[in-house]
């Protein structure tokens, strides 16, 4: 993947400063983070609708903005397609006229052909003569996408393209959007605050927080190796915990936590060697905590790593899974309010093990499922 997008933006606004640097290759880059982190502002800078105070924006081999060189290509000349959060369809124009809006300079015949082609490819041919107000949210979203794609953009920007839709439609359109973006092959930047959306659609995820980039990584790397505790929290990772380092080597880290001695895998590519007795943050995905079956004899510590005892003190039904709040059988204040660990089990497991009747369990966590968060 070549670096298609090279972004460095410093924009000082009243009461907010955006200061971000990231690059992305072909495919979809997702700007992910909480509301107010500066994601939409970044899109405005990429589209030329807001002029940064400093920095440089390069798409492919085109310099769109370079403060030092005095380059600032106006939005009209950038050929950057923008799908706005509320879609911003022209209410006084038909679907076809909306899509043709960016093709004004082309000869009439070519304009008509292009419009028809784009409408057909996005399954909108039937709706060509309708007004935007007569369409469903999902259809409006596709028209906005069609209008932005019709200009053959060198870069496509999408601001929370799914947030205006209801949940079931959102899921369907998320995958549809991914397919369209792959098919079209246009480099795209998508803004979202929903991690599932970011992960499903993005090739690369750039995590924003308070006007800065806290991590930029391919999606799988981000999922398994968030760069810091704050990234983990922004991603909504559960069971982010704090312990003390006992011993760190290139491939293992021993952590003392709530009276337990936990063993975690140290990243072979990103060895992190904190000194003994230093504080350390780590997380355990709730779906990776194992419950030890009682009908198979006593648990074998040599087989079950990081074995601990606990009581279920609360539970929530999420439809397909149960989320259990577990308190360890250990004196002292629990790590997360009333509990130490959140454990997620599928409904089937919950029923087979009759968890509703039996609240006392042994838990085990594979060392590969304890993820250390560098400070």
Partner 1 sequence: MTPETVSALALSLRVAVLATTLNALVGVPLAYLLARRRFRGRALVDLLVTLPLVLPPTVTGYYLIVLLGRRGWLGAPLYAATGWTIAFTWYAAVIAATVMALPLLVRTARAAIESVDRDLEKAAYTLGRSEWRTALEVTLPLARKGIIAGLVLAFARALGEFGATLMLAGNIPGKTQTVPLAIYTAVSTGEQTAALALVAMLTVLSCVVLVAAGRLGARAA
For residue 84, the minimal CB distance to partner 1 (Å) is: 5
Q: Under the rule (CB under 8 A), what is the footprint of partner 1?
A: 44, 47-49, 74-78, 80-82, 84-86, 88, 90-92, 101-102, 104-105, 147-148, 151
For residue 210, the minimal CB distance to partner 1 (Å) is: 24
Residue 105 or residue 166: which is nearer to partner 1 going by CB? Answer: 105
* C-alpha dihedral, 195 to 19 to 84 to 231, nearest 10°: 10
* C-alpha dihedral, 143 to 146 to 150 to 154, nearest 10°: 130
Q: Are 217 and 202 in contact (CB under 8 A)?
A: no
For residue 96, the minimal CB distance to partner 1 (Å) is: 14
For residue 374, the minimal CB distance to partner 1 (Å) is: 40
| Distance separating alpha carbons of residues 103 and 287, to the nearest angstrom | 50
171 CB contacts (<8 Å, ≥6 apart)?
none
For residue 347, the minimal CB distance to partner 1 (Å) is: 44
| Distance separating alpha carbons of residues 90 and 75, to the nearest angstrom | 18
DSSP 339: B
| Distance separating alpha carbons of residues 252 and 186, to the nearest angstrom | 42
Residue 77 or residue 298: which is nearer to partner 1 going by CB? Answer: 77
Helix (H, G, I), strand (E, B) or coil at 38: coil
For residue 83, the minimal CB distance to partner 1 (Å) is: 9
For residue 160, the minimal CB distance to partner 1 (Å) is: 12
**Nearest CA to 4 among 201, 187, 206?**
187
Q: Are 79 and 151 in contact (CB under 8 A)?
A: yes
Residue 164 or residue 307: which is nearer to partner 1 going by CB? Answer: 164
Residue 99 or residue 173: which is nearer to partner 1 going by CB? Answer: 99
For residue 30, the minimal CB distance to partner 1 (Å) is: 20
Residue 93 or residue 335: which is nearer to partner 1 going by CB? Answer: 93
Element (H, E) at 116: helix 108-121
| Distance separating alpha carbons of residues 33 and 235, to the nearest angstrom | 8
The most distant pair of C-alpha atoms in the chain lies apart, rounded to whole Å, by 79
| Distance separating alpha carbons of residues 207 and 212, to the nearest angstrom | 8
Residue 27 or residue 132: which is nearer to partner 1 going by CB? Answer: 132
Q: Are 323 and 372 in contact (CB under 8 A)?
A: no
Residue 161 or residue 226: which is nearer to partner 1 going by CB? Answer: 161
Residue 117 or residue 126: which is nearer to partner 1 going by CB? Answer: 117
| Distance separating alpha carbons of residues 201 and 261, to the nearest angstrom | 39
């Amino acid at each position: 993947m070549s670096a298609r997008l090279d972004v460095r933006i410093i924009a000082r606004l009243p009461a907010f400063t955006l200061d971000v640097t990231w690059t992305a290759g072909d495919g979809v880059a997702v700007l992910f983070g909480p509301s107010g982190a500066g994601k939409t502002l970044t899109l405005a800078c990429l589209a030329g609708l807001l002029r940064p105070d400093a920095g440089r924006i390069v798409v492919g081999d085109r310099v769109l903005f370079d403060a030092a060189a005095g380059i600032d290509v106006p939005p009209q000349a950038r050929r950057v397609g923008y799908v706005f959060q509320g879609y911003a369809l022209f209410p006084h124009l038909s679907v076809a006229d909306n899509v043709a809006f960016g093709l004004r300079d082309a000869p009439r015949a070519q304009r008509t052909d292009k419009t028809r082609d784009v409408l057909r490819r996005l399954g909108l041919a039937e709706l060509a003569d309708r007004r935007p107000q007569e369409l469903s949210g999902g259809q409006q979203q596709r028209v906005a996408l069609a209008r932005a794609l019709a200009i053959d953009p060198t870069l496509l920007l999408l601001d929370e393209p799914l947030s205006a839709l209801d949940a079931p439609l959102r899921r369907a359109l998320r995958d549809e959007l991914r397919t369209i973006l792959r098919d079209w092959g246009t480099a795209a930047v998508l803004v979202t605050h929903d991690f599932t959306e970011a992960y499903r659609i993005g090739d690369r995820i750039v995590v924003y927080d308070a006007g800065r980039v806290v991590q930029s990584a391919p999606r799988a790397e981000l999922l398994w190796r968030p760069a810091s505790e704050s990234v983990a929290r922004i991603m909504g990772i559960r069971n982010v915990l704090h312990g003390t380092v006992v011993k760190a080597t290139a491939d293992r880290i021993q952590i003392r936590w709530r009276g337990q001695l936990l063993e975690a895998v140290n990243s072979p590519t990103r060895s992190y060697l904190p000194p003994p007795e230093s504080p350390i943050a780590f997380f355990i995905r709730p779906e990776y905590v194992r419950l030890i079956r009682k009908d198979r004899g006593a648990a074998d510590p040599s087989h079950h790593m990081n074995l601990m005892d606990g009581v279920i003190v609360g539970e929530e039904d999420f439809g397909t899974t149960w989320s259990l709040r577990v308190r360890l059988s250990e004196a002292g204040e629990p790590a997360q309010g009333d509990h130490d660990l959140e454990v997620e089990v599928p409904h089937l497991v919950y029923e087979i093990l009759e968890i509703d009747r039996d609240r006392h369990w042994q838990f085990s966590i594979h060392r590969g499922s304890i993820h250390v968060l560098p400070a």
